[in-house]
Amino acid sequence: MSAASQPRIRCEPRRERQVVLRRFRVFLLLIALCMAVTVAVGRPSVWAVFLVPLLVGTLGFYELGIDGSLMSAVPWDGLIALALFTGCGLLLGRVLRRQRQREDRLAAGALHDRLTGLYNYGTFADLLHREVSRADRYGGRVTLIMLDLDRFKRFNDRHGHEAGNLLLRSLGELLRGLVRDADIAARYGGEELAVVIRGDELDGVLLAERIRAAVLTMRIPVDGEEAYVSVSAGVACYPDGAADEAELVEQADAALYVSKQAGRNLVTGHSLGLSRDGRRRAAAERRLRAVASG
C-alpha cells in the first residue's frame, strides 16, 4: 500500500461522520418545521406531513447504521436516532391530545350554558325537536317541565348579582343530580329552566314536585347568612296536550303561569291541573302525597 493512499483511508470515517451530521441537521430541521405546522394548524391530519420526513429519516439512519465501520466509529447513532424518534412521537401525541381536548371543550361550551352547566337554549331546542320526532316515529310521550325561580329579581336586588349567579349555579348542580341520564335539563333563559323527559304528564309532575321540594332545602350563603328560594313549575305533554313542539312549550309555559298566579312554589300540570277530569287529578294528587310523605 502506497504512502499516498494511506491518509485517504484514514479520512474516510471522518467524511462519513460529516455526512451523518449533515443528514442529522436536515432531519432535525424537517422535524422542527413539521411540528411548527402541526401546532399552527392544529389539525390531526398534519400527522401525514410529519410522517414523511420521519420515515425518510428512519431509512437514512438505517442505511447508515448497517455500515460496520461507521457504527464502530459512531456507536451511539442508533440510540440517538431511537431517542429522537420516540421523543418526537411523544411530543406530537401530546400536541394532538391537547388539540383534541381543546376541541372537546369548545364543543361542550357550544352546547352548555357556562353558568349552570346545563344545556343552553339552542341545544334545548334541537334536543326537544329530536325527542318529538322520535315520539312521532316510534310512539310514546314527551313531557316538558318549565321551571322558574320565584322572586329572583328581588333576590338579586337584595343580595347582588354574584349571589344570583351562585344561586343559578347551585340550581344547575341540583337539577343535574335529580334528572336521569336520558333526560334533558337546560337553561331556557334568565332564571327559567326546562327539563324534557320521556313519559306522560304525571311523570313530569312527579319529577317537578321532587325538584320543587329539593329547591326548598337549598341554602345559599350570602353576607354571612343563608338565603333560600322556591321554584314554580308548569308541565305539559306531547302529544296528549300539544300538537307540536311549539305548542308544547306554550302549554308548559301556561301551566307555569298558573303556578305563579296561584301563589308560587307550586307545580301545575297543563291537563291535570287545568282540565275537569277529576279522576285523573285525584290520582295525581294521591301519588304526589305519597311522594311527599315518603
Catalytic residues: 191
**What does the alpha-carbon distance between residue 269 and residue 156 come to, in Å, rounded to a whole number?**
29
Q: Which of 111, 215, 107 is nearest to 170 (CA)?
A: 215
| Cβ pair 13, 70 in contact under 8 A | yes
Cell numbers that stand for 121 in this block: 337554549
**What does the alpha-carbon distance between residue 274 and residue 113 come to, in Å, rounded to a whole number?**
32
**What does the alpha-carbon distance between residue 96 and residue 45 come to, in Å, rounded to a whole number?**
10
Residue ranges in the chain assigned as alpha helix (H): 5-41, 47-65, 68-73, 77-111, 121-138, 152-159, 161-178, 201-216, 245-261, 270-274, 278-293
Buried residues in 168-191 as b, exposed as e (16+ CB within 10 A): bebbbebbeeebeeebbbbbbeeb
Sheet holding 192-198, edge to edge: 184-189, 192-198, 142-149, 231-238, 267-269
Look at the block and give the residue holding cell 300538537.
243
